[in-house]
């Protein structure tokens, strides 16, 4: 059976596929594949190990052929895959959620919060270009976190881990999700509020919702207008949740004091206005980039392929119902 891997991944997990006797084809190009390259590589594959940057729709699935049984996505998110089209064809889709990934993203979120609060990136850049001439009383003044309010939009696994760490800074934590979570409130000391109240009351707003039609550009000119003046926005979820044009305007008007972004509306293309703005910290979609997280992701993605091709139900199926109508 043929397995197509769209890009080399860290670790030796792909060797496990070879040891199982599968014919493993790994893209020679260490970059995002074009659609034409993806179509060529996936043709004849029984399983594909894809990345979040691989857009897999019904046409790509059909190009693979009727033998395609599984798309194993090396990511927690799966908005790059048309899951409904896969289900119609009996193709299983798996992803790679884990505590290791969640912890990594939560830690990166806090790295960005701290960098914003204490203007770490600006200070580092100034020091490197020789602007540091000695201690001064009013250079790169930031803000303390103690006593401030952190607003978490989406209190899932990652959002909860972010909230847990806020206790160390004695921050007040507000959250918004579809419904109140009394268990999380007892465990984490967080408070459920409406989105409008969260926006108007929070000094730092951290996004942790999945990308859906409902959340696409949910942070826009209307929501920016409701934010507490001088607040900060952190996004380690999905870039399309924030309307970047409106973000640029909110920064220019000083409605918000800064933003830290690990994800972008049109990755890998980033608005030049955001790149040039010293109030913005950018990182290249690396929130889950730890050895521990990547190792777990590789282990899960490969295990899903081995199990599926051995007719064993894999873990982390995006749509469990597909198992009963799967291709064999």
- 267 in catalytic set: yes
Residue 220 DSSP one-character state: S
Cβ-based neighbours of 87, under 8 Å, separated by 6 or more = 319, 321, 322, 325
- 238 in catalytic set: yes
**Catalytic pick from 208, 238, 294, 326?**
238
How far is the C-alpha of 262 from the C-alpha of 103, rounded, in Å? Answer: 15
- 285 in catalytic set: yes
How far is the C-alpha of 166 from the C-alpha of 188, rounded, in Å? Answer: 9
Inter-residue contact 198 to 153 (CB < 8 Å): yes
**Catalytic pick from 20, 267, 273, 299?**
267
β-partners of residue 5 are: 26, 49
β-partners of residue 243 are: none
**Catalytic pick from 13, 285, 294, 326?**
285
The burial of 142, by beta-carbon neighbours within 10 Å (0-12 exposed, 13-18 middle, 19 or more buried), is given as: middle
Helices (H) and strands (E) in the chain, counts: 13, 12
Inter-residue contact 225 to 75 (CB < 8 Å): no
| Residues noted as catalytic | 238, 267, 285
């Amino acid at each position: 059976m043929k397995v197509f891997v769209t890009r080399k991944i860290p670790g030796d997990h792909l060797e496990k596929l070879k040891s199982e006797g599968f014919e493993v084809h790994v893209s020679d190009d260490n970059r995002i594949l074009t659609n034409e390259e993806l179509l060529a590589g996936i043709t004849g594959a029984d399983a594909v190990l894809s990345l979040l940057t691989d857009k897999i729709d019904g046409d790509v699935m059909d190009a693979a052929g009727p033998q395609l049984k599984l798309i194993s996505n090396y990511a927690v998110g799966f908005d790059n895959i048309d899951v409904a089209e896969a289900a119609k064809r009996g193709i299983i889709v798996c992803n790679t959620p884990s505590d290791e990934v969640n912890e990594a993203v939560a830690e990166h979120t806090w790295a960005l919060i701290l960098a914003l609060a204490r203007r770490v990136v600006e200070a580092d850049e100034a020091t490197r270009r020789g602007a540091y001439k000695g201690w001064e009383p009013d250079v790169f003044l930031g803000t303390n976190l103690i006593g401030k309010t952190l607003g978490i939009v989406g209190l899932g696994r990652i959002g909860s881990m972010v909230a847990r760490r806020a206790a160390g800074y004695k921050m007040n934590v507000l959250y918004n999700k579809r419904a109140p979570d009394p268990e999380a409130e007892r465990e984490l000391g967080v408070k459920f509020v409406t989105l409008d109240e969260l926006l108007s009351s929070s000094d730092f707003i951290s996004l942790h919702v999945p990308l859906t039609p409902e959340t696409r550009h949910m942070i826009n000119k209307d929501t920016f207008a409701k934010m507490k003046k001088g607040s900060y926005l952190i996004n380690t979820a999905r870039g399309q949740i924030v309307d970047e044009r409106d973000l640029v305007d909110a920064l220019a008007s000083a409605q918000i004091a800064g933003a830290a972004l690990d994800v972008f509306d049109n990755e890998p293309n980033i608005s030049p206005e955001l790149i040039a703005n010293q109030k913005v910290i950018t990182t290249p979609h690396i929130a889950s980039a730890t050895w521990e997280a990547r190792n777990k992701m590789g282990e899960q993605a490969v295990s899903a392929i081995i199990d599926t091709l051995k007719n064993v139900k894999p873990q982390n199926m995006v749509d469990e119902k597909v198992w009963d109508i799967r291709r064999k």
